[in-house]
Structure 1
């Protein structure tokens, strides 16, 4: 069982534009090919965690309030913790647990729910940074897209030096490069 940050990012290290859009990602030729590894990754995932901005984007982008069945198409019945200090809409039928608790407390609950599966930290970068700060981040899988934004939501707004990161693999998928780092 590992706690993994699995995400796509731009070449200059941004997850989303300044207005929190991920449209840049879907405009890259070959994006479907790069997404082909997602089912294999998801097969090993139990619980998930995301911040409120990520959750709101997914709900809006996929029209999940109108078509909640899409949640299970993508994420199945995995328990998902959403870190927020606001009231957010609930996707009907999804196992979503809104929390204001510190990541260390929630991580313990996620480990209990994981069994032999991994924990997926979907983002955003600051939430993942909180897991890293608490020593609870085991791996980063970053798929680099051939896009630069110049500004936006950073991949991981923390100072994590090379002595804590070990490159495990580099895989090319069309125009994308997937980098896998172990975090110590």
Structure 2
């Protein structure tokens, strides 16, 4: 059954990145465990496609040096007609509303990872299109930054289907729409 899963790290005060879009807080030595990927590899193998906003795409490329999700069909949401750098086969730039693009992806590919960012998360949450969330809470606060749901004006109830606490204090919760 097709589904959309928001999988991300979030600070205790609800931010997915600092005000400049940085995620350096994830690299703090307190939050690293040897040989632990916090379920990322298994999650990545379970998805068929990814969707993200233009700013998230640009930030990921700047961190990684190249696009790390090339094995999965990707949709980059953008108001620009094209993205000059980093767009290759398997990466589609969509000018459609996030809701339309996600529904098309789900119908063609199945399980879709909502990579973010905050504006994309909020649009898809507001439209009721996020089926599951896997949130890894990082025991830190930023005070300001990009919230998990930027400009979110909607409500929803979620059922916790699993919680995992790691020795370094990270807590991962897997939620499904109630």
Q: TM-score range by the shorter chain?
A: 0.7 to 0.9
What pairs up with 1:61-72 in 2 under 5 angstroms?
61-64=63-66, 71=67
Deviation at 1:76, TM superposition (A): 4.2
Give the aligned length: 173
Q: TM-score, normalised by structure 1?
A: 0.84
Does residue 104 of structure 1 match 2:105? no
- In structure 2, the CA distance between the partners of 1:134 and 1:9, relative to structure 1 (3 Å rule), is same
Does residue 138 of structure 1 match 2:122? no
For the 8 Å contact 1:77–1:94, the answer to whether it is kept is no
Over 6 Å off, 4+ runs: none
- In structure 2, the CA distance between the partners of 1:108 and 1:160, relative to structure 1 (3 Å rule), is closer
Q: TM-score, normalised by structure 2?
A: 0.87
SS of match in other structure, 1:48: strand
Q: Distance in 2 between matches of 1:182 and 1:103?
A: 20
How well do the aligned residues superpose, as a CA RMSD in angstroms? 2.0
- In structure 2, the CA distance between the partners of 1:169 and 1:103, relative to structure 1 (3 Å rule), is same
Does residue 16 of structure 1 match 2:17? yes
SS of match in other structure, 1:106: helix
Q: Distance in 1 between matches of 2:91 and 2:154?
A: 30
Q: Per-residue CA shift, 1:99-124, capped at 9, x if unaligned?
A: 12012321232013324xx2100001
Q: Per-residue CA shift, 1:8-67, capped at 9, x if unaligned?
A: 011111011111101111124243555241000011101100111111111111112xxx
Match of 2:75 in 1: 81
Q: Identify unmatched segments of 5+ residues in structure 2.
A: none
Q: Distance in 1 between matches of 2:30 and 2:154?
A: 31
